[in-house]
Each structure stands twice: as C-alpha cells, then as structure tokens.
A and B are shown apart, each in its own frame.
Chain A
Amino acid sequence: MSAVLDLVLGFLAHIGRATLAGLAGIGRVAIFAAGTVSHLARPPFYWREFGHALMQIGWLSLPVVGMTALFTGGALALQIYAGGARFNAETVVPSIVAIGLTRELGPVLGGLMVAARVASSIAAEIGTMKVTEQIDALITLSTNPMKYLTLPRVLAATLAVPVLVGVGDVIGIMGGFLVGVGRLDFGPATYLHNTIDFLEPWDIISGLIKGAVFGFIVALMGCYHGMTSRGGAQGVGRATKTAVVAASVLILASNYILTEVFFSA
C-alpha cells in the first residue's frame, strides 16, 4: 500500500516540479520581454543594427514568404472549389481564398516561415556570441546587449512581419487568381470582383495585427534562447532548435487567442 502511495506521490511531485519549472520559464520570458520593451523608452537606440535587422528579417524573408503564399493561395482555390462543388457553391472560391488568406493562412504560415528562418538565425547568432564571450565583451565595452542585440531585432520583426504578411496576402490572392482563372474557368474580372466585394478592411487589419504579434514572438524567442544558451556548440544547437519550436508553438497558440478576441461572436 505504501509503495503505491509513494508511486502516486512521486508522480504528483514530478508534475509539480514540471509545473513550477514551466511557470518559472514563463516568468523568465516575461521579464525578458518586459526588459526588451522597456529599452524602447531609454536611449540610445542603435539605428544601424535596427536597419540591418530590418533587412535580414524583412527583405530577405520576402522570397520564402512570397512562395509560401503563392502556393497556398493556389492550393486553397483548388480545395475550396472541390469542397464547394459538393454544395454547388463554386462561386465562393475567390472570397473564401481572400478571407482565408488575409485572416488566417497569410499571417500563420508567414509567421511560421519567418520563425523557421529568423528565430533559428537569431538564436544561432546570439548563442554563438554568448558562448564565445562576445556578449560579455559588449558589456565590458559599456554596451547593453539588450539594447544592442535584442531591441533592434524584436522591433524590426514586429514591424517587418506585418508588411510581409500584407505582401503575402496579395501574392496568395494572386496564386488563387491564377489557379481560378487558369484551371477552374473563372473569368478574371469576376474573380477579382468577388475577391474585392467580399473582403472587408478588418479581414486585412486583423491579419496584419497577427503578423505584428507573431513577429514579436519570433524575434523574442530567438533572442531569449540565444541569450540563455550555454555549453558550446551543442548549447547553441539546442538554443536554435528550442527557439524555432517555442516560436512556432507560441504563434499557433496566440493565433487561436487572437482569433477568439477578434472574431468570436
């Protein structure tokens, strides 16, 4: 009997320890995020690093986000056409493609692609700086690593990802248009007409807000896991992997929360 009790208590203790560790992790990330944001109001601001981050995160992510949006738009048009045919509702293809992309798939897939490309790159770069004492060197050179490394990247991602999402929306709708006109026999004018008529400003704005939140999450995860990496090359590898996984999961979780907030009846 006591052996069973020990087993149950051990199991509960394990859950308790894991819960406490999880809460402590959330607390550390929250403090890191608050520290990053607080530096916005405190000079200096490193414009050169911000510009560089904007280029790396925004401009250089455009091809991968664009390609993702293009193929997703095309595939979405095919799927909706096939599904809509069951209810004789093929004409909804343009509007559903547009709404699906702007509200949901554009920001989520764009965010995930940026997470794969940017969170990993940031975590690897900052993690390498950490294990090679470059972060310590920054501090001894009177430069705050949060200001110099984290804030420019987080701000750049928060501003760049909505722009990427906006461009991705246009490219994705274009993908749907190409498939709709080329494969599904829609007239070009009808397709565009249906797209524009049914799309509301909030569909686009909500997606852009999601993009900003996802951009913040991606850069924050990259910076946090990079800054907390330890143990040489293995530690940097672990930080990189964890940054991508954490950013992806947080993007999907926050997407649900934002969707509830924006669209729940």
Chain B
Amino acid sequence: MIELRDVHKSFGDLRVLRGVNLTVETGSSMVIIGGSGTGKSVILKCILGLLRPDAGSILLDGTDMATGDRDAFLARFGMLFQGGALFDSLPVWQNVAFRLLRGTLKRPKPEAREIAIEKLRRVGLEPEVADKFPAELSGGMQKRVGLARAIAAAPEIIFFDEPTTGLDPIMAGVINELIREIVVEMGATAITITHDMTSVRAISDHVAMLHDGQIKWTGPVAEMDASGDPYLDQFIHGRATGPIEAVR
C-alpha cells in the first residue's frame, strides 16, 4: 500500500502540492486526473524519490520511503514515462532488459535478451524490433517498448505517466488495454496519471482528482460520474465553466 500524508512541494514561489493525502491499496489501479500543470507528475516523482517533498511523508507498506535501502525500494517499481524515455544509444532489447543487464537483478546476456523479446511480444511487438534503435520506431511502438521495459523485471508497483499522450485513438486504446491486462495479470499496484478520460475508464479501479495542489475527490471509478463533486464533474465533462478556471 502506498500512502501520501500531507505532502507539500514548491518550486520557488510556485506551490504545486499543498497537502496531498492519498492512499493506493495493494493490487489496485489508481488513476490521478487533473489539468495540465496541476502537479500530477510531481506526485509520481516524489514517490519515486526523483523530487524530495518539502513536507509530509510517503509510506510504502507502512515504511517511510525517505528511509531505508533506496535500491531495494526502486527494484519494486517500474515506470512508463510520458515520452517513453528510451535510451537512444541502446537497441530496443537492451532498453527493455536494462535492469536485467546490471545491478542486483543481473542475468546472463542471452537470458536477458530472451526475457526482453518475451516482454516485447507481450506488448504486441515482433522480435525483429529487438535489434532496432528507439529512433527507428514510431511513437506508439516507443510507448510499447517503454511499457515492456517497465514490466521487464516484474515489479510490484508500476507507474504510468500520461500513457496515451500523443497517440492516435486506436493506438491509445491498444495501450490502455495492454496496461489493464498487464496490471491484472501481474497483480501489480498501479498509479497512472492522465487527463484522458477514456484511459481513466479503461485503466482505473479508483480515481483521484488533483486540483490546486490537493486531492479534491477520490473514490471508485464506478462512482465517478455520480460524485456530485463540482471539480470532478467539470473535469470529466470537459466544461469550460465551473470552479476550475479555464485559463491557468
């Protein structure tokens, strides 16, 4: 279980997170929604330790993430980045098997390659893709490779940062389905951040609405449409008028 307790984060004068409280149960899929620039990615980066919160605590299974063995902690995570964040200098299979080629999870090269090809197949890519470089792939294929890399070491927790941004609706649907299937199949805890409502309905068990640096509403996805929360209603229906200012 991941818990965020009164997490604050500012960049200079800009207060991005203003006391975020959020609980993600083990094995569930939480989607955090909210407008651009509301701090969704900052939450993920704080959990991963890429950013240090100014105040508050983040707990993983009751243990404060600021303490303890960071490598062991990161070994439990996988992440799909918004732009894929594939390493340009490495062929696709080495991107996917990156974690399996070094560090504590190191495997022999042929075995790592085999696992990489299996994961590529899992995300719908042919083995021929393995020896290409990221620059030779389309945006959708790069996202799939990023997904394969995120699941390569069978993590317990997977983060998806805007998984469908920049993709056509069909490819976005394919990625959404893949994410849902993989999360269910692996029994992983997932946190996805997006502002794509199709993704929200396809991926999530629970939804949290972030606005003004705070979680305005959280609950099961089935209750989202009847929440009665004015912020959530405006967001999911894409209305220009409401408590959320259209110009930020």
Interface residues, chain A, with chain B CB atoms under 8 Å away:
44, 46, 128-129, 132-134, 136-137, 139-143
Contacts and interface: CB of A to CB of B under 8 A. Distances in A.
Contacts of A142: 71, 74-75, 99, 103-105
Contacts, number: 50
Contact of A44 (B48, B49, B103, B105): B103
A132 B83 contact: yes
11 contacts: A137-B79, A137-B85, A139-B49, A139-B74, A140-B50, A140-B77, A140-B79, A142-B71, A142-B74, A142-B99, A142-B105
Contacts of B87: 129, 134, 137
B132 interface: no
B242 to A, nearest CB: 32
Nearest to B150: A140
B81 interface: yes
Given A139-B74, A142-B99, A143-B102, A132 B85 contact: yes
Contacts of B105: 142
Contacts of A139: 48-50, 74
Contact of B82 (A44, A128, A133): A133
Contacts of B48: 136, 139-140
Interface in B20-56: 45, 48-50
Contact of A134 (B50, B85, B103): B85
B77 to A, nearest CB: 6
Nearest to B83: A132
Given A136-B45, A136-B50, A141 B81 contact: no
A133 B99 contact: no
A44 B102 CA distance: 9
Contacts of A136: 45, 48, 50, 81, 85
A141 B146 CA distance: 12
Contacts of A140: 48, 50, 74, 77-79
B102 A46 contact: yes
Interface in B78-106: 78-79, 81-83, 85-88, 98-99, 102-105
